[in-house]
Structures are given as structure tokens and as C-alpha cells.
Amino acid sequence: MYTKTILTLAFTASSLLASSLMTDAKNAGLIPIPTDKQELLKLTDNPKNPITAEKIELGKKLYFDPRLSKSGFISCNSCHNLSEGGDDGIPAAIGHKWTANPHHLNSPTVYNSVFFSSQFWDGRDPHLEAQAQGPMQAAPEMAALPEHVEAVVASMPEYVAEFKGAYGKDVKITFEKVADTIATFERTLVTPSAFDDYLNGDENALTKAQKDGLKTFIDKGCATCHNGIALGGEMNAFNITGEYKYQNVGDFKGDANGMVKVPTLRNITQTAPYYHNGQIWDLKDAIIEMGRIQLGASINDKEAASIEEFLKALDGRKADVVLPQLPVSTSKTPKPDIN
């Protein structure tokens, strides 16, 4: 009887501690991806351009189609590879004519970007639809004029038919409509994880080490910036308590107020190198540096390892993305231009 009582008390204490941590996480502003499909749709849908199966499939084709670029070689997936972390795994994005980003900016992940309140490192637009327009036109990226993108899509009967199926027979294929359709596909790239399972009520979804790491994450103040459903995605001041040791790599200084978009921590183990200019490859080093320059906190190796263990719980479950078969080019399809 005595042993049974001790075991019961220990179990009760453990459950209370777990429930307390869950409460602390929610009080720190951490929000799970909802399990209910309708609740999730409220967060991901664009009322001005509602998500439909037809738009998703068409958007996926456009996302993978390199012919939208001037060279005919670069697609959205080139810099936001869905086969891994939704980025390109290199310090600075490489685009048209093998040009590195002139500001030495790292490609952010496209996974869960629907939850970001700010798009681009300088947060210049909140909408995925506007973000989708940027890389296609940027000279060091896809380097395509809107007229080129429209001509490519309109030159293929299969694309024309799919646009009519998605938007109605009177649809006009415009650059903006192409970007909107790509963004519709991107809105579905959501990756729920063990962390979400935990916050949604499954006490056993995280290991003890991950729970300890979550506590360290909260206690050290990491959730001050990395919060919300994306654990990032909003604008915040940078170099608050110290200067980033690689600040001189590239000329990026943030927006007009020195604010920088906080990167999401979802799938963070898959998106090295880290920081806006991709200069830190080791996640533990990135954690320690972040503590120094943003929190004024000395995070030791043990604490950094603990936080890293929690971050592993943010590796999400990705839906299978079947590589689409693209429409065949016609005599009217613009030819690749590598100049």
C-alpha cells in the first residue's frame, strides 16, 4: 500500500509539472497549429482568393516551373526546396546568371510562411501573394518581367484550361494572378509537429529532454521574440544587447527602423545556415549568439544543448508533395534567355 501511494504521488506530481509547463508555454505566447481542419483553414485561407483544390494543384505546377524565370532554369523550388527545409541550404541565395544575393541574404523557409505576419527579411509586406511576386521579378533571382511570366503561362493550352478551371472561363491570366495561385499552394505548406501535439493536450508527445528544453527556452526569454503559431515571423529590433559577430557580411540593416523579421523556429534543424546572412552553421552556436545579442544572456553549452533538444520537437510532419508533370512548351512559349 505504501509503495502504491508513493507511485501515485510521484505520477500526480509529474502530471502537475507537465501541465504547469504546458500552461507556461501558452502564457509565453506559444500557440499550436490546430488539429481541426476548419480551424486551420481560418488561419491559412485568403478570403479574397479562397483556397480550392484546383488552385492548389495549379499553384504547385507554377511553383515548380522554371520557365517562369528569364533563364528557364530557376523555379520557386530552387531557393525554397520542398524536399528538405523549404530553403536552399546555402548562406546567400543564388539566382539568375549564378548571382549571389547582393545583400548576402539567406533564403527563408517557405514552410509555415502562411503564419508569418511579415514577409521578406525587412518585412515590407505581410501577404504571401505579394511575396510571390518579388522573386520572379528580382534581377538576382528569377529576373523575369511580368510580361514574360504572362506569356509563358498563356502559351500553353493546358495552363490556360487549368486557370479557367480554377477561376472561371472568363479569367484573364495576369502576372498577379500567377503569383496569387503560387501563394495559394504555399498556404498549404503547414507542418504540425510533436510540439503542437503537446500543446494540443498530448502530455507524452515530448520527451523529458524536450520538455526540459522547452522550460529553458521559456526561462531564458527566447519566447519573447519566437512566439505565436510560427514561433517567429514578426518584426523585431536586432542587435539589442550586443552586435551580431557577422554583422559586416552583407549590407543588410533591416527596415527603416532597424527592425528585422524574426525567423520561424519550425523545422529549424533543417534550415542551416542561420541568421539573415547565413553565417552560422551550428544550431547550438546560433542559440548562444542569439542570447548574447538579443537577450543579454550568457547561455552556456548545457543550456544551449537543452534548447536545441526542444527545437528538435519542432521538426514537422510534411505532406507528400508529388512532383507535378508540367505542360509541354509550344512554339509560342518564350525561349530561355541566360543573358
The whole-number pLDDT of residue 52 equals: 98
Q: Give the separation between CA 298 and CA 293, rounded to whole angstroms.
A: 10
In this prediction the pTM is 0.93
CATH topology (fold) of 40-186? Cytochrome Bc1 Complex; Chain D, domain 2 (1.10.760)
Q: Which CATH code for domain 23-36+192-312?
A: 1.10.760.10
pLDDT for the residue 17:
55
Q: How far apart are CA 117 and CA 190, in angstroms?
A: 15
At 13 the pLDDT is 47
**For this structure, is 141 an active site residue?**
yes
pLDDT of residue 4: 54
Distance set, CA 194 to CA 97, 166, 197, 210, 311 (Å): 41, 35, 5, 10, 10
Binding residues: 76, 79-80, 96, 222, 225-226, 290
The pLDDT of residue 12 is 47
Whether the domain at 23-36+192-312 and the domain at 40-186 fall into the same CATH topology: yes
Packing angle, helices 301-312 and 283-290, rounded to 10: 120
List Cβ<8 Å contacts ≥24 apart for 299-306.
Answer: 299/220, 303/216, 303/220, 306/209, 306/212, 306/213, 306/216
pLDDT of residue 19: 77
Q: Tens-of-pLDDT digits for all 339 residues of the chain?
A: 555 555 454 444 445 556 799 999 999 999 999 999 999 999 999 999 999 999 999 999 999 999 999 999 999 999 999 999 999 999 999 999 999 999 999 999 999 999 999 999 999 999 999 999 999 999 999 999 999 999 999 999 999 999 999 999 999 999 999 999 999 999 999 999 999 999 999 999 999 999 999 999 999 999 999 999 999 999 999 999 999 999 999 999 999 999 999 999 999 999 999 999 999 999 999 999 999 999 999 999 999 999 999 999 999 999 999 999 999 999 999 999 999
Q: What is the pLDDT of residue 241?
A: 97
- Contact (Cβ atoms closer than 8 angstroms) between residue 115 and residue 233: yes
Give start and end residues of each alpha helix (H) in the chain: 2-27, 37-44, 53-64, 76-79, 128-137, 146-154, 157-167, 175-186, 194-199, 208-219, 283-290, 301-312
Instruction: Give binding residues for heme c as ranges.
Output: 76, 79-80, 96, 222, 225-226, 290
- The active-site residue out of 141, 150, 186, 289 is 141
Ordered by start, the domain boundaries in the chain are 23-36+192-312, 40-186
